[in-house]
Chain A
């Protein structure tokens, strides 16, 4: 068993699978349900789906595509995007998802985290933080698909999310998203050391050495993979894949 969870973090816009670069332009990857079937074959241990535009476009989660994904999926699943209230989160969990990812709504209404954690257990609640480094090297938290800058300090916000009930954190570097240049180890380390819940480092993975680095130096307890699992190589065609497990195990020992 892999000690470090390696989780494909897949981006949806409605019912299409896409992949962004630095939260900006996106490439079309394909049909999420077919992709899930491939990840079944690859025996991936966990999958995360994020509808990156749901909040920004004022959409509620697309339950029909989530149901289709869940029906095809032979591994545990998390979902984020446009989850604004308890009822819709409950519905997603009852469809067969195990965890709900909350980002913008945690900022607007942190008590949602608490309510979900009290009802479904903290393990079902992932607090999501999108961070970006400004030109002076200061990390800032963004919400609403990276379009809205907040005054939150990422480390304090991570601690607050834990306090409010998040059982896990998904930390995404906007600067690294889709770049294949490696995770932001610095902010991952700061946050991992400041909270007691698992931190999933996300954004920037391009190879197994990057994964090793963010786990060994950044103390991430899990990693999210984006471009790496949907493209052959940087700037090449779509290929749903997963890094070699033996190789991963060797590097994460």
Chain B
């Protein structure tokens, strides 16, 4: 789910130049990278590995240290592994991705879908000056837990407390869809653009 069209439009609205591309030269010269996620974990990792994007992305993220922002599945790809797949993730942030699992009689549903609050754990430029009571639109069946609490920017509760925004140095991830979260999402993308 999610929509590249609405991400592009949100950037346009805040006056930020962006381009949806699979072109390696363009990615190699990008000043910032947004990694959206559509589909399943292994399919995405396979596309990154076998499409020949891995080396460029590793260089951008780990050597050049340009800001990289993974959203939804894109955040999960930043972690070491996911219960959704067998392939290792990018492993840029020490964390793992786990499936929500509730008792059958639980009122909690999987996927976690809907608006939910985020609670700040650590400060960061990415989440600076969000409108009061920040909330975002989530659609996901797997969630991220970082190994190091310093890498957690916000948490959200859906039966378990999971990491809704994470950061390690120049690498950021958000579990929700900023492009579907009107003023809250717009502020977040604006902050990312200003990093």
Contacts and interface: CB of A to CB of B under 8 A. Distances in A.
B124 interface: no
Interface string A139-158: 00000000000000000000
Contacts of A43: 182-183
Taking chain A's interface residues, is the majority helix, strand, or loop, or is none over half, making it mixed? loop
B125 interface: no
Q: Size range of the interface on A? A: 20 to 34
A70 B183 contact: no
A40 B133 contact: no
A1 B115 contact: yes
A72 interface: yes
B179 A98 contact: no
Contact of B117 (A1, A40, A73, A123): A1
Contacts of B8: 71
B74 to A, nearest CB: 16
Interface string A91-129: 001011010000000000000000000000111000000
A72 B13 CA distance: 10
Q: Size range of the interface on B? A: 20 to 34
Contact of A70 (B6, B111, B114): B6
Contacts of B10: 74
Contacts of A75: 137, 180-182
B184 to A, nearest CB: 9
B149 to A, nearest CB: 26
A121 B115 contact: no
A95 B2 CA distance: 8
A76 interface: yes
Interface in A61-97: 67, 70-76, 93, 95-96
B179 A123 contact: no
Contacts, number: 57
B3 A71 contact: yes
B78 to A, nearest CB: 23
A45 interface: yes
Given A1-B133, A74-B181, A121 B113 contact: yes
Given A1-B115, A71-B9, A72-B9, A96 B2 contact: yes
Interface string B11-46: 000000000000000000000000000000000000
B67 interface: no
Nearest to A93: B1
Nearest to A70: B3
Interface in B73-112: 109-111
A74 B185 contact: yes
A76 B6 contact: no
B5 interface: yes
A40 B114 CA distance: 17
Nearest to B2: A96
Contacts of A96: 1-3, 5-6
Interface in A1-42: 1, 40
A76 B180 contact: yes
Contact of B109 (A73, A76, A123): A123
B113 A95 contact: no
Given A1-B117, A74-B6, A121 B111 contact: yes
20 contacts: A40-B182, A43-B182, A43-B183, A44-B182, A45-B182, A67-B5, A71-B3, A71-B5, A72-B6, A74-B6, A74-B181, A74-B182, A74-B185, A75-B181, A76-B137, A76-B180, A96-B3, A96-B5, A96-B6, A121-B110
Given A71-B8, A74-B182, A98-B1, 4 more contacts: A43-B183, A73-B180, A74-B179, A98-B139
Interface of A: 1, 40, 43-45, 67, 70-76, 93, 95-96, 98, 121-123
Q: Which 7 A-B pairs have the closest CB atoms?
A: A96-B3, A71-B5, A123-B113, A74-B182, A43-B182, A76-B180, A43-B183
